[in-house]
Chains A and B, each alone.
Chain A
Amino acid sequence: MAENILVYLDCFSGEVSPASWEAVGAAQSVKSEAGKINAVLLGPRAQEHADAAFEYGVDEVYCCDDASLGGFSAESYTTQLAALIKVNEPDLILLPGNVRTRDLAAMLAVDTQSCVIPDAVGLDWENAAVVTRPVHGGKFLQKLQAEKAPCIVVLRSRVFTVPERDETRTGTPKTLDLVDAPAAYEVLGFTPVEGEIPLTEASIIVAGGRGVTQPASLNAPDNLESDEEKEAWLAQEGYKIVRKLAETLGGAIGASRAIVDPGYVPYQYQVGQTGKVVSPDLYFALGISGAIQHLAGMQSAKTIVAINKDPEAPIFKHAQFGIVGDVFEIVPKLIEALQER
């Protein structure tokens, strides 16, 4: 089992992401009896989270809260981490998965000449890290064994377990000296996505497809001239049902490629092989046919509920619950029924 594991806790948004604690949980699952789990926090609010880290079972917490780390740059974060790794010599480095940490892990592997494996859905240890990860849009699971130490593994969200939190556990964080390095680029600004749950972290997702673009009882206003404008208006009106259900359930909204490509819904909501891969507890597929490329993005959801007019839609083969019907008839009633509970 691993003797010295370093976990990168991601506090870029100000808060530590739940996926970061999952990484601690993953570390615990492969740690030897006497092994140590250390954590590192980089960013202006790093120190704030040290206490929580100890409570989740981390042995040593390293923090660097220099202002220059405010805007994320994989290059500068890599330089800081590489310096720590040189001193700390972990045999396993775990990061919670997102696009920033993936870049960070990639560059870290180059700097430290180590092995890096992203998008892990399984972690074991047999003299070295053994990682399971999906490939080819989730059609296959590949099992890999690291042949070099340290091994850097980026973990997929919502797969590993958050450890028990012991509020009596305390410790003193260690401050990391900032390693001087020229900035790779200038961060001009950051526009957060307001108040929305990121798809990859959501436990409930309501997604809409082509079947929500044509609410039967609606007509586009006359002041819209072209057919295209009318279709876009109808699609955006229709998509509101997805938002309403998501709001009722406290979930995130998603979309299939069929309504992202024509521009009805922004790309950041696209679930699928060329969009986001999600693993919520509950996934509502409204008016989504279930093309392979969409399935690749959501097939690992624990429970899938599909509503579609077409009884032969492939999505029904992958869902736990299916309803053949009109989304615009069923979902309002569903919202009512949920609100009553």
Chain B
Amino acid sequence: MKIVVCVKETIDTAASLSLQDGSVFWGDASLIINPWDEFAVETALLLTEEHGGEVVALSAGGGEKNEALKHALAMGCKEAIQLSAPEDMQEKTPVVPSMLAAAVQKIGDVDLVFFGRQSTDEETGLTPPQTARLLNWPALTQTAKVIAHDPQGQTIEVERLFENGRQQAKAALPAVVSVVKEICEPRYPSFMGIRKAARAIIPKWELSDLELSSTVDSAWRSLRLDVPASRTKKVEMISGESAADIAGTLVKRLLEEKVL
């Protein structure tokens, strides 16, 4: 069985970010694997540990040393592939899904493509369903549990988390799956994995190496980035002689401010 996990290099969510020349600036904060992608890698590894096969980590963009791919290798992925992305890839859609879909086809014989449900930087969540649509494979997004995986019968059954309930769905392979955090607990990279990842030479595929199925047009233009206006009012601390006193004051204030 061959599983491809798409991972993205993102900025550590604890980093303090600022705007410089209209772009996001993260100083010397670390670049890491998109946190949701760790869950995707773990799920893929668990499936191959159970049924045999290997996991290939795939990433579009990222720096010279793509931290997401390194981390995926250190967790236990067999190999990693980096796709060289154009500078303005965010603005050209669906570039990334097109590249990923084309890469999956170039890799060949892929049974499953895993994604984390979205990235912590752009947070669009568009890549998994778009990649699936371009591949014309079912998109089992928001998967919280793999109920059954039948490598012989070539099907997968999952439970998906919607806001108002859970859907149980079954699809024929090959399929695309995006996962939510509930699905598992990602393992730490092992030291052996770390050594392997540090020594790995990750192949880089250019756009010209891929047969893109979709026209790559500029679909939107970023006008500006702003820091949201912060609330100027300071917090009103409520104190009192007793808990009942404090509670009473809070209710009074909430009514006065027409919050309740």
Contacts and interface: CB of A to CB of B under 8 A. Distances in A.
- Whether the complex brings A and B within 8 Å at their CB atoms is answered yes
Interface of A: 12-13, 71-75, 78, 98-100, 102-103, 105-107, 109-111, 113-119, 130, 134-148, 151, 184-193, 198-201, 249, 266-268, 270, 273-275, 281-282, 292-293, 296, 302-303, 305-306, 316-326, 329-334, 336-338, 341
A219 B130 CA distance: 51
Nearest 9 pairs of A and B residues by beta carbon: A185-B171, A333-B247, A115-B219, A192-B165, A106-B129, A267-B182, A184-B138, A334-B247, A188-B168
A103 B247 contact: no
B259 A282 contact: yes
B163 interface: yes
A339 B139 CA distance: 47
B250 interface: yes
- If over half of A's interface residues share one DSSP class (helix, strand or loop), that class is named, otherwise mixed; here it is mixed
A109 B228 contact: no
Contacts of A141: 225-228
Interface-central residue, B129, B228, B260, by most chain A CB under 10 Å: B129
Nearest to A331: B247
B130 A321 contact: no
A333 B220 contact: no
A139 B17 contact: yes
Given A106-B129, A146-B220, A273-B120, A185 B228 contact: no
B126 A102 contact: yes
A190 B165 contact: yes
14 contacts: A72-B162, A72-B167, A109-B93, A118-B124, A118-B126, A134-B228, A139-B227, A186-B169, A267-B144, A268-B182, A303-B257, A305-B250, A321-B237, A322-B237
Contacts, number: 256
A318 B235 CA distance: 7
A66 B141 CA distance: 23
B163 to A, nearest CB: 4
A188 B243 contact: no
Given A106-B130, A118-B126, A140-B228, A323 B235 contact: no
Nearest to A340: B251
A185 B238 contact: no
